[in-house]
Chain A
Amino acid sequence: MSVNPLSALPASAASAVRTEKNERFDRWWIMVAAVAVLVILLIFLKPDPYKNLFNFVRDGVWRTTYITIISFVLVIVFGLFVGLARLSKHKVIRGIATVYVEIIRGIPMMVQIIYWAFALPAIIQEMGSAWNIPSFMEYRPDGIVMAIFGLTFGYSAYMSEVYRAGIQSISKGQMEAARSLGMTYVQAMRYIIVPQAVRVILPPMGNELITLLKDTALVSAVAIPELTRRGREFSSANFNPIETWTMVALLYLVMTLLATRLVAYLEKKARYER
């Protein structure tokens, strides 16, 4: 046997592992490009009002983007814990997770966001006056932070169901094989079940990302100057609803289409031979 047994392997074995790698250029990119070009054309061919409009809502695009990204990262982590809790053997843990999911699913996202932004700070202030805690009485949370909390808390419930379905779709034999090799439950989850479940989960997870991105428009209701809010401000100041909302719609479309492509890319990367 040579020192490194792997070097003895034929090179063809490695290249046979992934066969579809050199697929044709993804045609959906044309759609992304078309919408982006349309936006750019509008800005250059008709600077009044499109260029002014674009400059006005640009910070809204940025805010929408980072609210989406931060919320989604939190949703991915928190949703996993809730999903695992719903599969737990312990009745109490499972019960808490189930109640949480049922409550969240029964309340409109808009109401949840308003609750986090206005009701929750008010509750804390009341508690402050009742028990005489000055820091509670003057509690004024940052609007964007509360908006992110609201979105995270709401979307984690939906994401936990995505995780749960994905984990349950992996055959019981996988867990048994892992445990029979002496892996702990946590190791089996970490190395065997979750990596496989992720591949099943990616498409519905992508849906959640797109829906979340669009639902960030809801936080305009609590005065966060994201894209929709900035659009409304511009439109009411300049009385040009057609141009404003066309631009806003196109900008959302660019973002959602990009997100779709990102998910499709990840799905392709995660694929393996069955």
Chain B
Amino acid sequence: MEPIIKIQGVHKYFGTLEALKGVNLEVQKGEVVVIIGPSGSGKSTMLRCINRLEEFDEGSIIVDGIPLDTAENINAVRTEVGMVFQQFNLFPHLSVLENVLLAQQIVRKRDRAEAEKVGMALLNKVGIPEKAKYFPGQLSGGQQQRVAIARALAMNPKIMLFDEPTSALDPEMIQEVLDVMVALAREGMTMVVVSHEMGFARACAHRAILMDAGQIIEEAPPDVLFSHPTHERTKAFLSKVLH
């Protein structure tokens, strides 16, 4: 089967620093992939290349059959790929509900009633329909991140990207966000998740990937990668994060 994400030989430079050194990765439809690695290893950069928030200098990325080349194709890919950020990035001047409605209306061209139906259903799904009229600033971090997930889902994406979704959260709020992500994974959503939440990886991921210095070092099912790493760098990294 043709992979839904196909990354081939992608290089990315920040000035003279080579952030990605020829990354190859294929993700199948319905697969959940967790990427771990030390900070500065290029894992977020790679994730951000998938919806072209980050431009890459060499190589190619094809998402759902669409190559990321022209501006039109990039926009087409972005409507099919949802993204959740570490810092939530909710729109602070819009209510929670408006956050979830806006892109549906202006990008998907849904009318208000239809968008509201989708939006409220999703706020129910992430467990905070009662906050619809609040502004993001009035919500806790965990609630904001759940709204951010609902906002991305409202576009009916085929793929969801998560860039360290729980790293900016207080410990007691991490679980409520992970619960939403677990439910999503169970429904068969294709997910690429940059996160060090080993519990989530073990419970949901089909594959775990370790990146270091702009390269994919090792990939395996999470249990295998976490318990029996073969590569020295994987062992060194895991010894620091697992305790």
Q: Taking the nearest CB of chain A, how far is it from the CB of B190, in angstroms?
A: 16
Q: Most A CB atoms within 10 A — which of B53, B93, B117, B136?
A: B93
User: For window 109-167 of chain B, which residues contact chain A by CB distance below 8 Å?
Assistant: 116-117, 120-121, 124, 129-138, 148, 151-152, 155
Are A10 and B82 neighbours in the complex by a CB distance under 8 Å? no
Return the contact of A13 from the options B81, B106, B120, B132 (Cβ within 8 A).
Answer: B132
Residues of A within 8 A of B117 (CB): 5
Q: Which residue of B lies closest to A196 (CB)?
A: B93
Does B95 belong to the interface (CB within 8 Å)?
yes
Counting CB contacts under 8 A, is A141 at the interface? no
| B121: nearest chain-A partner, CB-CB | A1
Judging by beta carbons under 8 Å apart, are B133 and A177 in contact? no
CB distance from A247 to the nearest CB of B (A): 44
Q: Which of A44-78 contact B (CB under 8 A)?
A: none
B236 touches A (CB below 8 Å): no
B92 interface residue per 8 A CB criterion: yes
Taking the closest CB of chain B, its distance from the CB of A266, in whole angstroms, is: 15
Output the nearest chain A residue to B48 by Cβ-Cβ distance.
Answer: A176
Cα distance A174–B137 when bound, in Å? Answer: 14
Q: Is the CB of A183 within 8 A of B53?
A: no
Chain A minimum-CB-distance residue to B96:
A13
Minimum CB distance partner of A2 in chain B: B120
Interface size on A, residues (CB 8 A): 31
Complex CA–CA separation, A187 to B108 (angstroms): 13
- Residue from B120, B131, B148 whose CB has the most chain A CB atoms within 10 Å: B120
Q: Across the interface, do B130 and A196 meet the contact criterion of CB distance under 8 Å? A: no
Contact B91 A177 (CB under 8 A): yes
Q: Is the CB of A182 within 8 A of B78?
A: yes
- A273→B53 contact, CB < 8 A: no
A181 near B78 (CB under 8 angstroms)? yes
Q: How many residues of B contact A (CB 8 A)?
A: 41
The distance in angstroms between the C-alpha atoms of A192 and B93, with both chains bound, is 8
Closest to A191 in B: B102
Interface residues of B in 50-79 (CB under 8 A from A): 51, 53, 75, 78-79
Q: With a CB–CB cut-off of 8 A, which chain A residues contact B173?
A: none
Option from A182, A187, A196 in Cβ contact (under 8 Å) with B92 = A196
Chain A-chain B contacts (Cβ-Cβ < 8 Å), number: 102
Is A16 an interface residue, CB under 8 A from the partner?
Answer: yes
A184 to chain B, nearest CB (A): 7
Is A274's CB under 8 angstroms from B107's CB? no
B binding-site residues for A, Cβ under 8 Å:
51, 53, 75, 78-79, 81-83, 85, 87, 89-93, 95, 97, 102-103, 106-108, 116-117, 120-121, 124, 129-138, 148, 151-152, 155
Given contacts A9-B130, A182-B78, A187-B106, 19 further A-B contacts (CB under 8 A): A1-B121, A1-B124, A5-B117, A6-B97, A174-B89, A176-B53, A177-B85, A177-B148, A180-B81, A180-B82, A181-B78, A181-B102, A181-B103, A181-B151, A183-B103, A191-B102, A273-B92, A273-B136, A273-B137
Interface residues of A (CB under 8 A from B): 1, 5-6, 8-10, 13-14, 16-17, 171, 173-174, 176-184, 187, 191-192, 195-196, 199, 272-274
Q: Considering the complex of A and B, which 9 residue pairs feature the smallest CB-CB distances, nearest first?
A: A182-B79, A5-B120, A177-B89, A181-B103, A173-B89, A273-B137, A180-B83, A274-B137, A182-B107
